[in-house]
Amino acid sequence: MTNTLVDPFQRAVNYLRVSVTDRCDFRCVYCMTENMSFLPKKELLSLEELDRMCSAFINLGVKKLRITGGEPLVRRGIMTFFDAMARHLESGALQELTLTTNGSQLSRFAKDLAAAGVKRVNVSLDTLNDEKFARVTRWGRLSQVIKGIDAAQAAGLRIKINAVALRGFNEDELLDLTKWCADRDMDMTWIEVMPMGDMEGIERIGQFWPLGDVRAQLGEHYTLSELSERTGGPARYVRLEETGQKIGFITPLSHNFCESCNRVRLTCTGELYMCLGQEDRAALRDALRENPDDNAPLVAAIRTAIANKPKGHDFDYSRQDGDGQMSRHMSHTGG
């Protein structure tokens, strides 16, 4: 057997996204309810188990690891895990170690992350207005996130800003956000809001804002050049000629990326979701826990899971009315 993971549709799976916690210090309205209940600790993979799990995937050909959550930087001891993953970067087995964060803890961790070999970080930020930021995150403070971004840039980390497009909420900030990112030499990605969880709060904050509109509005102010770049995910990119920035559009609800999908998602409880848009998953934790000294059962379970990766998903926002078609929350699978 080769040390690569190839699914039945001949797609090489070389990108693993790992949610290391379901907890978060924010309560973004599109992601969590205000009174989320979180998993008991014993359900979570320990840091050692996360290491074993990720290392198994890396041995099977995963080249890119994205750490997410919940908020990954609120997981206690998380730097131990990043430091441990650094060995795979050093050996060359892993090409990229990265994370998606709300930025609240970045000022504490930026230097250590850079030292562990992280080069790029995605920071989620939907608005530059203090009051709106507090409304959309419920518990967050904008100034703390800006401080985190400052620290990360000072540590040499390349930052990309991810913003969820919400009609009637950040529509009026499209140009301000673009310029703010340009001034800081940051690329940006817009994400279409997905029908996750129960979407409580969305109605009050804003609504679905199709990215075709975002793009068209940008095109009224900038010269957009289409980039052919594909990352195997649901993003398409343009370059703004005037600023040099790369702007991404993530439309997870469209089907147009499934054929090149190269990724799977591991939850903090060790469940592997083979497709963001489907409930199909493989429970890998038992194979790991029941065999502390033998990785063979885990490797077999991973291979079986990949052999069951579906061809595509059938999310369709137009077919539903804002109620979550998917019952799980983004904080569980990590988006």
Rounded distance between C-alpha atoms, residue 239 and residue 299, angstroms? 40
| Per CB under 6 A, 18 contacts ligand SF4 | no
Q: Are 100 and 335 in contact (CB under 8 A)?
A: yes
Instruction: Between 34 and 229, name the residue whose CB sits nearer to ligand SF4.
Output: 34
Burial class from Cβ neighbours inside 10 Å (0-12, 13-18, 19+) for residue 172 reads exposed
User: What is the C-alpha separation between 68 and 267, in angstroms, rounded?
Assistant: 9
Which listed residue (89, 196, 211, 276) binds ligand SAM by CB under 6 A?
Answer: 196
- Cβ atoms of 266 and 53 closer than 8 Å: yes
What would the DSSP string read from start to end of 30-65? TT--TT-----GGGSPPHHHHHHHHHHHHHTT--EE
Pick from 13, 16, 20, 24: which binds ligand SF4 (CB under 6 A)? 24
Contact between 192 and ligand SF4 by CB under 6 A: the answer reads no
Asked if residues 24 and 32 have their Cβ atoms less than 8 Å apart, the reply is yes
Site string for ligand SAM, 118-137 (x = CB under 6 A): ------x-------------
- Least Å from the CB of residue 68 to ligand SAM: 4
Nearest-CA neighbor of 332 among 202, 194, 188?
194
Cβ atoms within 10 A of the Cβ of 209, count? 21
Residue with Cβ nearer ligand SF4 (13 or 125): 125
Mention every residue, 6+ apart, whose C-beta is less than 8 A from residue 275.
258, 261, 309, 310, 312, 313
Query: Any contact of residue 201 with ligand SAM (CB under 6 A)?
Result: no
Decide if residue 70 touches ligand SF4 (CB under 6 A). Answer: yes
Site map 18..57 versus ligand SAM, x via CB under 6 A: ------x-----xx--------------------------
Stretch 74-113: interaction string toward ligand SAM, x if CB under 6 A:
--------------------------xxx-----------
- Contact positions with ligand SAM (CB under 6 A) in 151-190: 162, 164
Which of 22, 71, 187, 271 touches ligand SAM by CB under 6 A? 71
**CA proximity to 69, closest of 20, 17, 30, 122:** 20
Rounded Cα distance, 114 and 313, in Å: 36
Angle at CA of residue 98, ends 165 and 271, nearest 5°: 85
- Considering CB distances under 5 to 8 angstroms, the limit depending on partner class, which of ligand SAM, ligand SF4, none binds residue 162? ligand SAM
Q: Which residue has the tokens 């077919």?
A: 319
Which one of 39-47, 53-61, 192-200, 219-227 is the stretch in contact with ligand SAM (CB under 6 A)?
Answer: 192-200
Question: Which stretch in 63-71, 173-181, 210-218, 267-275 sits in contact with ligand SAM by CB under 6 A?
Answer: 63-71
Restricted to residues 30-69, the positions that interact with ligand SF4 (CB under 6 A) are: 31-32, 69
CA 228 to chain centre: 22
Interface with ligand SF4 (CB under 6 A) = 24, 26-28, 31-32, 69-71, 102, 124, 330-331
Interface with ligand SAM (CB under 6 A) = 24, 30-31, 68-69, 71, 100-102, 124, 162, 164, 191, 193-194, 196, 330-331, 334-335
